[in-house]
């Protein structure tokens, strides 16, 4: 009873609000007279308001939660490295082994005074950058611990091909102590271990400005490099023109040395790359031939099904009426 009266009252209110004087609902809904002329305007208003509210709430939500958050400032992220057209990163190109040889020379004469390359044995250089005799001669320049002898004492012996490249420091703590608390990272996998890979390391080596830009805050003992995350790097610029003398006569500019040592470090991180790319090409050749063959076999087998015609002969119509 109460519900019915409420229904009636709302209907009456609705009728009044519409400005209609029709007495029955049926007449009001079915008529298209001037009494309903205000309704589209009100609908437009309501629709516009709802749209505005929706857009506003979305904008507000985006303002609150939509922005990408950066934990660090751009200076702390470091400058993005420039992309360089490295030949050895192309799909069908091996390392340039002459460049690897030069890069190893740069590592040996420059980098190795602070950075270790502990995962590379001398034997890995044989057939890549050096001959057996050269690698043996380099290995013998270093001393390594022997196995304990009869008295249990460990002696020193000259290096062999199976020995790993010697590290400049005895351990990480000694390296930190010698470098003002900063640990020079091992370079064996450094190309894989840094965002930007070759581009980043090349930019880092060649990107030292002559003096830090105005306003840049450089801590005591650090050097400014825009490509290093945080811009303060403990390593100073080490590559200068004519620092090493290449045995093959290549002009030893800063960028040439950086390019060679980066390619060498890429080899150190991915010594299998040449073989991998070659096997990849062979695999692609075989599998594409097999794929073409399988497509042909499929079409061959499906030909009778695809080309058949299904005929329907309706039975003769017999009229009963």
Residue 278 binds other proteins, judged by CB under 8 A: yes
The nearer residue to other proteins, 145 or 248, going by C-beta atoms, is 248
State how beta strands 143-145 and 156-158 pair. Answer: antiparallel
Based on CB atoms, which residue is closest to other proteins, 101 or 115? 101
> Segment 69-128, which members bind other proteins (CB under 8 A)?
92-98, 101, 127-128
Segment holding 233, helix H or strand E:
strand 232-233
Name the DSSP class of 164: B
Place of tokens 């609705």: 14
User: First CA to last CA across the chain, in angstroms?
Assistant: 63
Identify any residues that bridge with 232 across adjacent strands, giving them in sequence order.
224
Is 115 annotated among the ligand-binding residues? yes
Instruction: Candidates 104, 110, 120, 129: give the one binding other proteins (CB under 8 A).
Output: 129
CA–CA dist 101, 121 (Å, integer): 15
Could you tell me which of 120, 270, 113 has the C-alpha nearest to residue 184? 113
What are the C-alpha distances in Å from 79 to residues 82, 169, 200, 207, 255? 9, 31, 9, 10, 18
134 binds other proteins (CB under 8 A): yes
Residues in contact with other proteins, shown as a per-residue x/- string from 136 to 165 under the rule CB under 8 A: -x----------------------------
Binder of other proteins out of 285, 290, 292, 297 (CB under 8 A): 285
As measured in angstroms, the least distance from the Cβ of 109 to other proteins is 14
Structure tokens belonging to residue 17: 């609000």
235 is in an annotated binding site: yes
Q: Which range of residues in 103-111, 164-172, 253-261, 280-288 is near other proteins by CB under 8 A? A: 280-288
Tally of residues, the chain: 321
- To the nearest whole angstrom, how small is the minimum distance from the Cβ of residue 248 to other proteins? 8
Of 233-272, which residues contact other proteins (CB under 8 A)? 247-248
- Segment interacting with other proteins, rule: CB under 8 A, options 31-39, 106-114, 115-123, 275-283: 275-283
Q: Which stretch in 72-80, 131-139, 153-161, 308-316 sits in contact with other proteins by CB under 8 A?
A: 131-139
- Return the residue matching tokens 């009494």: 35
DSSP state of 36: G
CB 214 within 8 A of CB 292: no
Residue pair 225/236 in contact by the 8 Å Cβ criterion = no
Closest contact distance (angstroms) between CB of 152 and other proteins is 35
195 is in an annotated binding site: no
Write down the least CB distance from residue 252 to other proteins, Å: 15
**Interface ranges with other proteins (CB under 8 A):** 92-98, 101, 127-131, 133-134, 137, 247-248, 274, 278, 281-282, 285-286
């Amino acid at each position: 009873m109460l519900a019915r009266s409420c229904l009636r009252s709302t209907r009456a209110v609705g009728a009044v609000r519409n400005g209609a004087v029709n007495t029955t609902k049926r007449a009001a809904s079915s008529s298209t007279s001037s009494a309903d002329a205000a309704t589209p305007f009100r609908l437009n208003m309501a629709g516009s308001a709802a749209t505005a509210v929706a857009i506003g709430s979305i904008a507000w939500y985006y303002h609150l939660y939509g922005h990408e958050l950066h934990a660090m400032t751009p200076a702390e992220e470091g400058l993005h490295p420039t992309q360089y057209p490295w030949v050895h990163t192309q799909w069908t190109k091996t390392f340039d082994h002459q460049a690897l040889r030069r890069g190893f020379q740069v590592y040996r004469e420059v980098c190795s005074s602070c950075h270790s390359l502990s995962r590379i044995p001398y034997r890995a250089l044989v057939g890549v950058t050096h001959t057996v005799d050269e690698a043996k001669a380099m290995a013998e320049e270093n001393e390594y611990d022997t196995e304990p002898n009869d008295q249990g004492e460990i002696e020193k012996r000259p290096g062999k091909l199976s020995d790993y490249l010697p590290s400049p420091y005895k351990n990480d703590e000694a390296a930190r102590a010698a470098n003002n608390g900063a640990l020079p990272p091992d370079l064996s996998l450094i190309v894989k271990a840094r965002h930007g890979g070759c581009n980043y390391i090349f930019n880092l080596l060649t990107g030292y400005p002559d003096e830090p830009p105005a306003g840049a805050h450089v801590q005591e003992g650090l050097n400014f490099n825009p490509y290093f995350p945080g811009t303060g790097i403990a390593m100073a610029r080490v590559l200068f023109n004519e620092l090493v003398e290449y045995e093959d006569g290549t002009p030893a500019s800063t960028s040439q040395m950086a390019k060679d040592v980066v390619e060498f470090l890429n080899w150190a991180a991915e010594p299998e790359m040449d073989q991998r790319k070659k096997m990849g090409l062979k695999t692609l050749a075989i599998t594409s031939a097999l794929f073409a063959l399988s497509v042909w076999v499929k079409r061959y087998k499906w030909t009778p099904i695809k080309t058949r015609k299904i005929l329907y002969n309706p039975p003769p119509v017999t009229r009963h009426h």
